[in-house]
Structure 1
Amino acid sequence: MNAIIDYFSTLESKPLHRLAFLAFPIFILWLVESIKPLKEMRYRKSKSRHAIINFGFTICHLIIHAALAVFLVMLCDWCQLSGFGIVHWLHFNSAWTIIFGVLAMDFFGGWLVHFVEHKTPLFWRAHIVHHTDTNIDVTSGLRHHPIEAFIRWLFFMIGILITGIPIYVVLIAQTLMSMFTMFTHANINLPYQLDRWLSYIFVSPNMHKVHHHYKQPFTDSNYGTAFSIWDRLLGTYLYLSPNDIVYGLDNYYKMEDDEDVKKLLKSPFKNYTK
């Protein structure tokens, strides 16, 4: 336990380690989805060009995240010094702090912010970039408008303030969530029963793909990042067979614009109505 705490306590100062947590799963899942894909994709030009566009958004998101991370650290430090937050008030030990903190961050920084983005017109217009992808694969997971980095940072700050968790728990949660984000977007064909049983606790690939179906109410369902319990408890879980899923958005957004970077960057400044 102490080794885990020590490692993640300093992970923010190890950019190559953080990059490895991102790059290695992408590489492995890229290979798996190339061997046994869930769907045959129809890329505009090629899978590589599609990946380059998505990675461009990812890099912007990561740069902003790195710049804002100092505020997460400062808030965590303040909570530890002042004894503010649930983990301090209830006197959790290290193990319970990690368990509770990871679940809480997955709720605030995963489910809740995602739910709010879908229900708030201004936030939704930024989130559109993620949903316009008509070819969902491992590179789609971190395809977000730069403005979304600020929105998600805000919800992480709220979660930290309420829970009072230390920075190592935040980094454990963020690492787990980023891995699940890539896993659930990957175009991989898991055995049906394995995916089904997995989805009772965690967000599985087939479960999350429902969220990318172009029609409501499916677009407004399955908001979870790592744990499926939030969708099941809060009534936002829906099932749709992978064979019936069509990626993209409904007719108010042109699907052929899914790789037009200029239009995607302008999406928060246009009035899209579901």
Structure 2
Amino acid sequence: MWNEILAHFETLEHRPLERMAILVGGLLLFWVIEGAIPLFPLKYKKSKLRHAGVNFVFTVIHLIIHTFLAILIIKLSDWCAATKFGIVYWTNANILVTIIIGVLALDFSSWLVHLVMHKVPLLWRFHLIHHSDTNVDVTTGLRHHPGDSLLRGIFFLLLIFISGAPMYSVMIYQTLVVLATAFTHANISLPVKLDKALSWFLISPNMHKVHHHWKQPYTDSNYGAVFSIWDRLLGTFYTLDTKDIKYGLDRYYPAEKDEDVKSLMMKPFKKLEE
């Protein structure tokens, strides 16, 4: 059975419909849940569907970019296996440890690229499109400018190269991060004690909502994607009462234009204005 599970994830990259089903299924699940137990009464400019449509434009572009990056991911992972290059091979890790190393390395890549995009002004121009959403819900999770998506792919490849993560480890992580992204962005209200307990190990919804607060230093915190260990270990973990959270940006991009696709696409190519 264990071998069957590994074989399933090893070839998952070659089954795009199944991967799409995981993505769509996660979005729909948390779409329903956030409708039942919303954290905030979000005030959409026109409607929730119109807001979702804007974010899906970026989601589709993100998925197209990832389709091409997948070719490089497969080739790099296969090269690591053929040459025995990377931490998992240097340490002669067994299958379980290989999965752990691969998943943690790729999750660190998510944390690191997120930090870099916040700290480098040129890269922040691309990432602020994600933060410009004034109504954070499950559809916000994949609202990334194409430049943002490309940079994430580069860091992902870098940590595959360092870790030597085989494809089954890569696909286990990608499945986790797709579901985690929907979960952490969803406008859902969990019991405070449950959310806090989850945040000791995982990125919880309330923990990530702090990252979407409109003012620094809260915007520059809680960079993790799946696991909270990087923020806790590296000093970027912040808390904020949800009643004090306000979405969007306090500068750089006008809140009234957060659903203007053309403006969002062009913003990274213009100088930031305080």
Tell me which interval the TM-score lies in, with the shorter structure as reference length.
over 0.9
Q: How does 1:238-257 map to 2 (within 5 A)?
A: 238-257=238-257
Q: How does 1:101-180 map to 2 (within 5 A)?
A: 101-108=102-109, 110-180=110-180
Retained in 2: the 8 A contact 1:140–1:185? yes
Cα 1:163/1:260, change in 2 over 3 Å: same
AA of the residue aligned to 1:40: P
Q: CA deviation at 1:251?
A: 2.7
Q: CA deviation at 1:53?
A: 0.6
| Cross-structure match for 1:217 | 217
Q: How does 1:23-172 map to 2 (within 5 A)?
A: 23-108=24-109, 110-172=110-172
Deviation per CA, 1:211-268: give whole Å up to 9, x if none. Answer: 0000000000000000000000000000001100000001332111100101100121
Residues 1:229 and 2:229 aligned together? yes
Q: CA deviation at 1:273?
A: 5.6
* Structure 2: tracts of 5 or more residues without a match: none
More off after superposition, 204-213 vs 148-157: 148-157
Q: Give the Cα–Cα distance (whole angstroms) in 1 for the partners of residues 123 and 6 of structure 2.
A: 34
AA of the residue aligned to 2:192: Y
Partner-residue secondary structure (3-state), 2:61: helix
- After TM superposition, which residue ranges in structure 1, 4 or more long, deviate above 3 angstroms? none
AA of the residue aligned to 2:135: N
Q: Give the Cα–Cα distance (whole angstroms) in 1 for the partners of residues 243 and 38 of structure 2.
A: 13
* Structure 1: tracts of 5 or more residues without a match: none
AA of the residue aligned to 1:82: T
Q: How does the TM-score come out when normalised to structure 1?
A: 0.98
Instruction: Give the number of equivalent residue pairs.
Output: 273
Q: How does the TM-score come out when normalised to structure 2?
A: 0.98
Identity of aligned residues (%): 56
RMSD between aligned residues: 0.9
Partner-residue secondary structure (3-state), 1:246: coil
Q: Give the Cα–Cα distance (whole angstroms) in 1 for the partners of residues 267 and 225 of structure 2.
A: 23
Q: Give the Cα–Cα distance (whole angstroms) in 2 for the partners of residues 224 and 68 of structure 1.
A: 22
Retained in 2: the 8 A contact 1:72–1:157? yes
Q: Give the Cα–Cα distance (whole angstroms) in 2 for the partners of residues 122 and 69 of structure 1.
A: 26
Q: Give the Cα–Cα distance (whole angstroms) in 1 for the partners of residues 165 and 253 of structure 2.
A: 40
| Cross-structure match for 2:268 | 268
AA of the residue aligned to 2:261: V
Partner-residue secondary structure (3-state), 1:165: coil
Q: CA deviation at 1:157?
A: 0.8
Q: CA deviation at 1:269?
A: 0.3
Q: Give the Cα–Cα distance (whole angstroms) in 2 for the partners of residues 212 and 168 of structure 1.
A: 32
Retained in 2: the 8 A contact 1:79–1:161? yes
Partner-residue secondary structure (3-state), 2:187: coil
Q: Give the Cα–Cα distance (whole angstroms) in 1 for the partners of residues 28 and 72 of structure 2.
A: 31
